Structure 1
Amino acid sequence: MTLAQLKDELIAYSKTIGVDKIGFASADPFAELKNRLLTQQQLGYQSGFEESDIEKRVYPEKLLQGARTIISIALAYPSKMSNSPRNTKEERRGIFCRASWGKDYHDILRDRLKKLEIFLKERAPEAKTISMVDTGELSDRAVAERAGIGWSGKNCATITPEFGSYVYLGELVTTLPFEPDTPMIEQCGSCTKCIDACPTGALVQGGQLDSNKCIAFLTQTKDFLPDQYRKKLGNRLYGCDTCQQVCPENKGKDFHNHPEMEPDPEIAKPKLIPLLTISNREFKERFGHISGSWRGKKPIQRNAIIALAHFKDQQALPILADLLKKDPRPVIRGTAAWAIGVIGSIEEKRLLDEVKNTEKDDKVLREIDKGLNIMEYKE
């Protein structure tokens, strides 16, 4: 069997296992990417979640000796939810971003990549392979662009002609020298809708993101959310879809090709108040299967408190008061104090004054003062 025949067979097989798009790229160094990553590092724009060794991110040979080809795959995920629950005054709800709907995409893509590896090894036993999804060393977007899957948009997402940017990406590095596909060039043109719509100005310019300002990153942090971003958060619990929602390339794009990606409406848009008292076990049982749970319940609860402040939900005050007085976690106590200041009135001012006399944590005390200052401003 020739490599050309094996490539055709692999492409055909990929469709039978639920791969929506597949492309082949050379495993040559990503020289241009290296320069961009160094610039990001110098500017302090990295999130800290990336692979810290830039050499591993741009030299596939460092990950697999003799690497010749990188196979990129894309799976389309839904952009719309059927039976989406209403966010009402009586029942305020938060929202997980679309990339966290359904089963954790890392598991889904690893399953597809494993099947592709087995398929290759059965037909070319001498081949060496290594695969990765998202948390691997390589840049999924750089690989997908080189493999002709899509182009790197100004919103820093991979945009495919077929599915827009609503795709999960993964890659398989192999020693087999397949014929590479044609890379896809950038097609955003003069459009700047994503840059203009970014809630925090995290999109510095087309294709450049300051991760530390990005709401998708901020929702995953575990410390106090900086003051300037709290109003920007809205009711987001995990992630942010704004730059995808405004993209013209995503208009009308909504694919339901994979049952395991379908969201449970009560998980994707959960009621906010019950989240505040959920136990670790309950959180794992309800949310453990989605990618948005990977940082644990504390960031989600902190974001839920901020969302309740965004809605000025009076119904939340008793629980917020309880969290302020009893929760062992300073971030939750402090965020609750701030939210009480946003929502509450004179009665809650007495509560903040009372707790201020017993609270020992300096950061929580600062949040209590913020809450009191907000109340004074309202008066």
Structure 2
Amino acid sequence: MDYRQLKKDIIAYSKSIGIDKIGFASSDPFIEMKNLLIRQQELGYQSGFEEKDIDKRTDPSLIFDGPRSIIAIALAYPSRMKDAPIGKKGERRGIFCRASWGIDYHILVREKLEQLASYIDSRIPDARYKLMVDTGELVDRAVAERAGIGWSGKNCSIITPEFGSYVYLGEMITNLPFEPDEPLHDQCGECRLCIDVCPTGALVQPGQLNAQKCIAFQTQTKGLLADEFRDKLGNRIYGCDTCQTICPKNKGMDYHVHPEMEPSPEIAKPLLQPLLSISNRDFKEQFGGISGSWRGKKPIQRNAIVALAHFKEKSAVKELIEVMKEDIRPVMRGTAAWALGKVGGSEAKEALLEAEKEEQDEEVLQEIKKGLDFFTIKDEV
């Protein structure tokens, strides 16, 4: 088999099925990434969502028998929403990050990889491969960097010359000996805008992220949001794009090449107040098709409450009181109590004082106290 010609044919085929960028890498262990992950683990910077076994994350031979090469792909997604609804007083809106616009990218990228695999099967019947999209063991960023898809930016995103960092990544480990492509040189230069504007200082230095402090990670947690992050959340209900939108390499990057990725404005920027009482069924029907729904409705609802507090939305007071009094989940009751203090007003204060007498959960009582403390501060001012 002429693998050089096969590689050219695979590249041509990938373009015909809508893969925006493709690269080939060796299947050698990712030693540098392993050292970085060990350091991240030592510092407590991991999110906890990753594969726990660092060796599996960095050595293809531990998850695939006889790897010879890895094929990496990238699909470009839009950075701007057409006909985006504008929130206003009484109709405040939240925002899902761009990587959660349109169909769940895991589905779309996997479909492209499966099409690629079928083509390879038609050419090499005894070919073997393993497909991965985000949830696989290997670090997508490390594979994409080695395969020449883009360079690893200071914001820990893969940045491509053609599409900026607005790309979804996937890869395929194979038993075929493809010639590797050349990695790209780092093009961030002296720029450190992403580090300087990170809302929580999660980018501790170029290429190093403390995931525990990252707003994107915090929006996906299910417990009470730590105090230090509440005022940083803004109206984000899933994810954070700050380190991407500030990046000069993303200026003017907005590609609408995949119809499946086009955001539905009412899903990507939903009204906040209806989220407080949405049923499981309605949540699944409305948001189940996007990647931002993977943790269920609880984090989204909690974040919606924090966003209403951010706006100090008076029209939401009655609904927040109902959540504080009636919701069976302590996280929701507590977050609503804190939010009522932020929003303020006599109705909110009276409800908090009443709830303080009736609430049994200690964590919720602490949040009620925080809510009432806002009134003490206002009185002092």
Whether the TM-score (by the shorter chain) exceeds 0.5 is: yes
Mark the runs of 5 or more structure 2 residues left unpaired by the alignment.
none
CA shift, 1:357, in A, is 1.2
1:276-355 equivalences under 5 Å are: 276-355=276-355
Q: Which amino acid aligns with 1:282?
A: D
In structure 1, the residue corresponding to 2:244 is in which secondary structure? helix
Q: Deviation string for 1:160-191 (max 9, x for gaps)? A: 00000000000000010100000112111100
8 Å contact from structure 1 (residues 97, 238) kept in 2: yes
Task: State how far apart, in whole Å, the 2-side matches of 1:362 and 1:305 are.
Answer: 20
Task: State how far apart, in whole Å, the 1-side matches of 2:267 and 2:331 are.
Answer: 24
CA shift, 1:332, in A, is 0.3
Task: State how far apart, in whole Å, the 2-side matches of 1:83 and 1:328 are.
Answer: 37
Q: Which residue of 1 aligns with 2:182?
A: 182
CA shift, 1:90, in A, is 2.8
Q: Which residue of 2 aligns with 1:90?
A: 90
Q: Which amino acid aligns with 1:293?
A: S
Aligned residues: 379
Q: Which residue of 2 aligns with 1:360?
A: 360
1:23-102 equivalences under 5 Å are: 23-102=23-102
In structure 2, the residue corresponding to 1:254 is in which secondary structure? coil
Task: State how far apart, in whole Å, the 1-side matches of 2:219 and 2:111 are.
Answer: 27
CA shift, 1:126, in A, is 1.7
Q: Which amino acid aligns with 1:2?
A: D
Q: Which residue of 1 aligns with 2:14?
A: 14
CA shift, 1:156, in A, is 0.4
In structure 1, the residue corresponding to 2:263 is in which secondary structure? coil
Task: State how far apart, in whole Å, the 2-side matches of 1:71 and 1:345 are.
Answer: 58
CA RMSD of aligned residues (A): 0.7
Using the aligned pairs only, state the percent identity: 65
In structure 1, the residue corresponding to 2:204 is in which secondary structure? strand
Task: State how far apart, in whole Å, the 1-side matches of 2:102 and 2:346 are.
Answer: 43
CA shift, 1:347, in A, is 3.0
8 Å contact from structure 1 (residues 30, 59) kept in 2: yes
Mark the runs of 5 or more structure 1 residues left unpaired by the alignment.
none
In structure 2, the residue corresponding to 1:24 is in which secondary structure? strand
Task: State how far apart, in whole Å, the 2-side matches of 1:90 and 1:353 are.
Answer: 25
Q: Which residue of 2 aligns with 1:272?
A: 272
Q: Which residue of 1 aligns with 2:226?
A: 226
Q: Which residue of 2 aligns with 1:377?
A: 377
1:131-210 equivalences under 5 Å are: 131-210=131-210
Q: Which amino acid aligns with 1:4?
A: R
Q: Which residue of 2 aligns with 1:238?
A: 238
Task: State how far apart, in whole Å, the 1-side matches of 2:347 and 2:288 are.
Answer: 38
In structure 2, the residue corresponding to 1:47 is in which secondary structure? coil
Q: Which amino acid aligns with 2:124?
A: A
Task: State how far apart, in whole Å, the 2-side matches of 1:260 and 1:346 are.
Answer: 47
Q: Which amino acid aligns with 2:134?
A: D
Q: Which amino acid aligns with 1:75?
A: L
CA shift, 1:118, in A, is 1.1
Q: Which amino acid aligns with 1:369?
A: K
In structure 2, the residue corresponding to 1:61 is in which secondary structure? helix
CA shift, 1:43, in A, is 0.1
Bigger shift: 9-18 or 243-252? 9-18
Task: State how far apart, in whole Å, the 2-side matches of 1:361 and 1:166 are.
Answer: 43
Task: State how far apart, in whole Å, the 1-side matches of 2:101 and 2:137 are.
Answer: 24
8 Å contact from structure 1 (residues 140, 171) kept in 2: yes
In structure 1, the residue corresponding to 2:22 is in which secondary structure? strand
Q: Which amino acid aligns with 1:88?
A: K
Q: Which residue of 1 aligns with 2:112?
A: 112
Task: State how far apart, in whole Å, the 1-side matches of 2:94 and 2:247 are.
Answer: 23
In structure 1, the residue corresponding to 2:70 is in which secondary structure? strand
CA shift, 1:345, in A, is 2.1
8 Å contact from structure 1 (residues 145, 185) kept in 2: no
